Structure 1
Amino acid sequence: PREVRQIIDKLGKKRGGEYQEYLYQWIRQLMQPTPDIKRVAVDIEVVTEKINRVPDPREASQPVIAIAFCSSKKGESKIFLLERREREDFKLYFDDEEVEVKYYRSESDLLREAFEEMKRYPLVLTFNGDSFDLNYLYHRALKLGFSKDEINIRLGEDTADLKDGIHIDLYRFLFNKSVQTYAYGNSYKEVTLDAVGRTIVGLGKKEIDEETSIGELSDQKLAEYCFRDAEITCKLSTVHNNLLLKLLLLFTRISRMPIEQVARHSVSAWIRSLFYYEHRRRNYLIPRPEDITRVKGGTYTKGVIKGKKYMGAMVLEPVPGIHFNVIVMDFASLYPSVIMQFNLSYETVRCPHEECKENKVPGTPHWICRKRKGMASMLIGSLRDLRVNLYRPLSKRKDLSDEERIFYNVNQRAIKVFLNASYGVMGSEAFTLYCPPMAESVTMIGRRLLTEVIERASELGVKVIYGDTDSVFLKNPSEEQIKELSSWVSNKYGIDLTVDKEYRYVVLSERKKNYLGVFRDGTPDVKGLVGKKSSTPLFVKKAFFELLKILSEVKSEEEFEHAKEEIRNYIREVVEKIKKKEIKIEELAFNVMMSKKIEDYTTLPQHVKAAKMLQQIGREVKEGEIISYVKTVDGNGVKPIELARPEEIDADKYLTILKTTFQQVLEPLGIEIEEKRIRRLVDFM
């Protein structure tokens, strides 16, 4: 479009020749429509020896009794069933279209037809297909006498690919922390088909009786159960105007990686692939990490966090208490902006030119090249420019069609994933192009910018009550002071400092990265406080959010006394319920995800202890599963909720948790909590 070209031309002239080439290169790729590829979601069901026991795909000892194919094309969805008893006469529907139900007398015929069905699609989707579905089909086919040539699946060490198409395991894609955080805004907490289905699609798995195994289901119930799994998987790729598929394709274009590898690997692999591609495009040798360190040297500053080799982001000491009319201003994509504006890259930091040595990085002996543009500076900077100046503004334009706004929004979300991860990746020792002085320079410049903003705010007469990495909390600033601060940063550094949040008031404790804010409309905003964490027991969350509700109604300092009395009374009620053990076990549960397989843990955190107990009673516990456990008075100190009884609950420990949770908010309000005996919590006022 003409408008896009005008924006790119303007940016290109501002940044210079080679940089302009990068902008046009990105635009040529990213402005291409994302194709709606014909695809099918596949799910299988296998006879299980025990309830809740997932069969080992390598052994593949049990027959495959159902395979569902949910197609993105109307009228092409199917389910194949193994005939084990008299056929049932039933109908199955998907979005008002009848699903074809086919029976097979022989399991070999069922598998052979399944392989042929998958060949009809360029893209096959599964949820955990690398580890289970396709893996099981491959080994089961071998067990039934198929030759490898007859099987349309090629197994790798931890992958299952197709010979005649592309396999995307959506479990691995959605498990990607950057995708979960930046693309989906942490909308799902648990990476199970049921959890992501309910959150993203609005559809959960079919429920079956816990005492009934898959093999005992009627054919109709089996078909409904199996097809629902495939339906959720398919709809994950079609909801929100094919958002997931579009994101995958855009990540593929940006990273220069095959789409199936994008789905399987972390964002660090995407960024590495992008940089390797750029080296090859320029006919550069890709340096080894030890070569970079040998030539560029190490870091100068000392890390505050254990294991960190250099000084990290700046976090100001908060001013404890209640602060009314607080404005939070933050730098737009601070670290990507610093990388772009200050020309930071492994080849430009500590360059060989004598004349560049005057261009020092503040607080370090490092310098930055003035004679050439850095690769990271141009790659990350051009993506940042496109998001900030093109895609994000256009995604909000009311005069554009819905289709155009969606297109621009998907692009800006895809780029956001790369930008937000870029410094974290490049600043990690695990990154193959890790350059210690470059990583250190980014944070040191970031610290200098934040320091100068605080100093400038003070000169303007504005009190800064807190600051963290890329943001400052300003107490009661005027519109004029906000504009002056923003334009000063823009004029001096070419980086945007904009209003991010407006609070009616903020409650700060002495702890960094912990605060409670109440927006002007009364909505609470909680950062780093225990009461909001996903693993916190439900009863503590309920109590915490009731406290927030009381505080959110406060409009002036005078109203706090009444709010304090309300809080006192409410906490007394909660404490009494804990002491009398009147709270349901489910509400006392900690819910923690298994980040790896049980056998891969070298230590025994409490959720793993609970998982081992479940394993001992024959329950299969998988990576990515949420373990719910409670604190108990027995020797283990913990039990999964499935095995715990109310009388085993350790009330003292839950009172301590309640105290810890509330203390973070109550201390800055001037409400002291009884320290000597937790059982006197009711008297803490």
Structure 2
Amino acid sequence: MKAFILTRHWRDTPNGTEIELWASTDTGTRKILLTSQESVAFAPAEYKAQITSQIASLQGARVRPLTLKNFQRREVVGVYCAQYRQLASLSKRLQDAGVPVYEADIRPPDRYLMERFITASVQIEGGIADGVTITDCRLRSAPEYRPILSLVSLDIETSPHGDLYSVALEGCGERRVYMLGPAPVAASSLNFDLEYCSSQKQIIERLNTWFQRFDPDLIIGWNIVQFDLRVLQAHADKLNISLTLGRAARPIEWRQHGRKEGYFFATIPGRLVIDGIEALKSALWSSPAFSLEAVSQEMLGEGKGISDAYDRMEEIERRFHEDKPALASYNLKDCELVTRIFEKAKLVEFLIERAQVTGLQADHFGGSIAAFNHHYLPRMHRDGYVAPNTGQIPETSYPGGFVMDSRPGLYDSVLVLDYKSLYASIIRTFLIDPVAMIEAETESDNDAVVPGMRGIFFSRKKNSLSDIVTQLWIRRDDAKREKNEPLSQALKLLMNSFCGVLGSPDCKFFNPDLVSSVTLRGHEIMRQTRKLVEDEGYEVIYGDTDSIFVWLGHRHTDGQAAAVAERLVAAINQWWDEHLSIKFNLQNFLEIEFDTYYQRFLMPTIRGEELGSKKRYAGLTRTASGNESIVFRGLETARSDWSPLAQKFQRELYMKVFRSEPYQEFVRSYVRDVRSGKLDGLMIYRKRLRNRLDSYQKNVPPQVRAARLADEDNLRRKRPAQYQNGGWISYLITRNGPEPLQATTSPIDYEHYINRQLKPVADAILPFVADNFGNLIEEQTNLF
């Protein structure tokens, strides 16, 4: 039987640690129990006597010699305990006594799966079957298996003070709302099931029953863990009843974030719980704001219809007291929007593939270090080593990606050439690997090592990390050929995370010299690439990490530019093939590709200076359908902290300049429209308060001043404060300074928008056509 692991759990029993895996199969969900599992950690062999003394009174504990070494190349022993908590307690006592202990932090399910090279899909063999439970079977990896998962979208509505009003569910063939209060006298015609509940307790009880009856694999929602599930749990606790949304009527397992106050993780036994915001971010979707309203408008072209938070709260209150069917429809609409966003972005497919690739539970976001460990630790063990502990090397800085000085200007015909997964290809080509670095320290044969940077070397004999990257790379090429975009994206993200993981002090393998052998090699590669391009007679005007911007010198057609790009790509790749073979006896996996052709391209200066900017540019290109489009990077249009007024102005002005069309009257007309009030709707700033409102003392930015005014207005209206713990604020700049959109009392300061929003945008491009914003509007300014 093949299965996809949904959730992982463990518990200590008198007979050892029991691992519980809930998994989806083609014939239903199964609970896999692996009983009597030992837990293991490692310690230097010279401490064996001390360890033996410590475990003398521990039942089921033992020490065993192993053919493994630590990163100081000292032999280690295995320290085994029947229970995982017993091992954790022993590890702490030993370390307090000065005995180093390694890998004691690997949880039992993760240890079991990683050592068998299992990520998410498994083949179940043998065992004892009893209903849905299979005990003490054998598991092996089945990476080809993909499950068909059932899901439900869940959303709640509350009062402004957090009192539960209703719960909506869409999925498993159901569209249902549980509503607090008596049914109205006049029945409504609805296209979903609406059940009225006499109490909040009854809502939760019916919700528990629904989950046991329809049994979804996934629960999806928007901010579902931090809001919906937390509110439901708080009500259940207050009412002294259980919230049993897990399989086998199990409760949610809550864990608070260690560093982020008020942030919680939720594990629901047998079910994945997936927040749409986290899922989109993990798939690298970008959005100016991640509210359900903003994302649904952007992706689906529709939203909830009540955009202002307090209008929404007041309308929810009105509907709850006057029109409960309308509130139920509103509640269910949120579920429908979330479901459609998941479908449009193929989020479930992506998360399944991500789990298959990383070895992490599908609803665990972030986790790059855990994913690295899942792949690297078992291979490192087979190379004869155990992992060091976090913090063994002091936290120090190391060089980042290479960014060339730019040459500012307005150009015709610029090519962008891009190295395919540069850092991953450097790891793969130069055999960069933590164990290989340790092995090379004792290697006397120069031909047996590859030079890194900063005087370190890597063994050619043991380099698991490059093997891992090679396997992932091949899988990604296969996924691209098969047009499996979710799998291709998941593989790319994992490969590209490896350098960052090695550069994180939270990683067991953190070593500035190790990660510098990636980043500094990247610097070397980009400098050499620039030289190769210039040797071909072209000028490089900018470069950033893995991309190089090539000016062709004069205007080219799309076909001519593509032909130049093809020649450059072939020449550069051939040079690396020959150079790496001759100098290092290495196979080249560096591969530069043709990325983009810009018909017109702007590299602006740093504002107020003559130096070229970095990571900020704009270019006119042609889409696959043949339409012209401007790509903005780092400029106002691409940044959410600039007003729509500036963004619209930039898009239209740059298009005119790029097309060599007259722009003077457009600028003057736009300024006139600003001063006449025609564009007031575009002047709203929307910014995020990342900290508590009372934490801003010395530096008080405009959004904070607006938020304080907003909450003063809320209190006057006897409404809850909205911004004390941060959040998004919409405001205008008025003649009396920033004022919240919900409580604006002063006239808009149009000159602020002209001088602080329009002028910087215009003066980034107009000097390159011998003009400036001030000259264009001087006559108008005099009139005012």
Q: TM-score, normalised by structure 1?
A: 0.77
- Equivalent position of 2:49 in the other structure: none
Q: 1:318 to 1:35 in 2, by over 3 A?
A: same
- Equivalent position of 2:42 in the other structure: none
Q: Does 1:540 align with 2:652?
A: no
Amino acid at match of 1:285: V
User: Which of 592, 595, 601 pairs up with 1:500?
Assistant: 595
Q: 1:457 to 1:568 in 2, by over 3 A?
A: same
Equivalent-residue separation in structure 1 for 2:708 and 2:650 (angstroms)? 31
Amino acid at match of 1:125: I
SS of equivalent residue, structure 1 residue 429: coil
| 1:339-370 deviation line (CA, Å, top 9, x unaligned) | 111111233346413437786757x4322213
Amino acid at match of 2:362: I
User: Which of 206, 219, 225 pairs up with 1:113?
Assistant: 206
Q: 1:101 to 1:270 in 2, by over 3 A?
A: same
Equivalent-residue separation in structure 2 for 1:678 and 1:273 (angstroms)? 61
SS of equivalent residue, structure 2 residue 193: strand
Q: 1:171 to 1:279 in 2, by over 3 A?
A: farther
Query: Which fold has the larger relative contact order, with Cα–Cα distance below 8 Å and residues 6 or more apart in sequence?
Result: 1
Alignment size in residue pairs: 593
Gaps of 5+ in 2: 1-114, 123-140, 257-262, 553-560, 580-587, 605-611, 715-719
Q: Does 1:511 align with 2:617?
A: no
Amino acid at match of 2:293: D
Gaps of 5+ in 1: 1-20, 56-61, 94-98, 300-308, 396-407, 555-562
Q: 1:503 to 1:131 in 2, by over 3 A?
A: closer
Q: 1:25 to 1:103 in 2, by over 3 A?
A: closer
User: Which of 74, 78, 100 pairs up with 2:176?
Assistant: 78
| 1:136-162 deviation line (CA, Å, top 9, x unaligned) | 222222333426889843433244646
Give, in angstroms, the shift of residue 511 of structure 1. Answer: 1.6
Question: Is contact 1:323-1:475 (8 Å) kept?
Answer: yes
Q: 1:220 to 1:535 in 2, by over 3 A?
A: same
SS of equivalent residue, structure 2 residue 747: helix
| 1:53-101 deviation line (CA, Å, top 9, x unaligned) | 352xxxxxx3x33211111x33x332222233535422433xxxxx222
Question: Is contact 1:323-1:506 (8 Å) kept?
Answer: yes
Q: 1:281 to 1:239 in 2, by over 3 A?
A: farther
Equivalent-residue separation in structure 2 for 1:153 and 1:433 (angstroms)? 34
Question: Is contact 1:170-1:233 (8 Å) kept?
Answer: no
> Structure 1 vs Structure 2: percent identity of aligned residues?
20
Give, in angstroms, the shift of residue 34 of structure 1. Answer: 2.7
Amino acid at match of 2:229: L
- Equivalent position of 1:104 in the other structure: 197
Q: 1:131 to 1:319 in 2, by over 3 A?
A: closer
Equivalent-residue separation in structure 2 for 1:587 and 1:457 (angstroms)? 44
Equivalent-residue separation in structure 2 for 1:448 and 1:244 (angstroms)? 38
Question: Is contact 2:431-2:450 (8 Å) kept?
Answer: no
Q: Does 1:610 align with 2:703?
A: no
Q: 1:615 to 1:162 in 2, by over 3 A?
A: same
Amino acid at match of 2:498: S
SS of equivalent residue, structure 2 residue 663: helix
- Equivalent position of 2:667 in the other structure: 571
Q: 1:283 to 1:434 in 2, by over 3 A?
A: same
User: Which of 420, 445, 449 pairs up with 1:332?
Assistant: 420
Q: Does 1:428 align with 2:526?
A: no
Question: Is contact 1:673-1:681 (8 Å) kept?
Answer: no
Q: Does 1:657 align with 2:657?
A: no
Give, in angstroms, the shift of residue 443 of structure 1. Answer: 1.2
- Of structures 1 and 2, the larger Rg is shown by 2
- Equivalent position of 1:371 in the other structure: 460
1 or 2, which has the higher helix percentage?
1
Equivalent-residue separation in structure 2 for 1:103 and 1:487 (angstroms)? 72
Question: Is contact 1:88-1:220 (8 Å) kept?
Answer: no
Equivalent-residue separation in structure 2 for 1:313 and 1:239 (angstroms)? 34
SS of equivalent residue, structure 1 residue 36: coil
SS of equivalent residue, structure 1 residue 316: coil
- Equivalent position of 2:544 in the other structure: 468
User: Which of 669, 677, 680 pairs up with 2:769?
Assistant: 669
Amino acid at match of 1:287: P
Equivalent-residue separation in structure 2 for 1:281 and 1:216 (angstroms)? 66
- Equivalent position of 1:11 in the other structure: none
Equivalent-residue separation in structure 1 for 2:547 and 2:479 (angstroms)? 23
- Equivalent position of 2:526 in the other structure: 450
Q: TM-score, normalised by structure 2?
A: 0.68
User: Which of 229, 244, 253 pairs up with 2:356?
Assistant: 253
Give, in angstroms, the shift of residue 681 of structure 1. Answer: 9.1
Give, in angstroms, the shift of residue 327 of structure 1. Answer: 1.7
Q: 1:419 to 1:39 in 2, by over 3 A?
A: same
CA RMSD of aligned residues (A): 3.6
| 1:581-633 deviation line (CA, Å, top 9, x unaligned) | 52544311222234455467786443233233323314524989532222334
Question: Is contact 2:636-2:650 (8 Å) kept?
Answer: no
- Equivalent position of 1:126 in the other structure: 221
1 or 2, which has the higher strand percentage?
2
Amino acid at match of 1:196: V
SS of equivalent residue, structure 1 residue 168: strand
Q: Does 1:641 align with 2:733?
A: no
Equivalent-residue separation in structure 2 for 1:31 and 1:192 (angstroms)? 35
Q: Does 1:286 align with 2:387?
A: yes
Give, in angstroms, the shift of residue 39 of structure 1. Answer: 1.9
User: Which of 468, 487, 492 pairs up with 2:574?
Assistant: 487
Equivalent-residue separation in structure 1 for 2:265 and 2:119 (angstroms)? 33
SS of equivalent residue, structure 2 residue 761: helix
Amino acid at match of 1:92: L
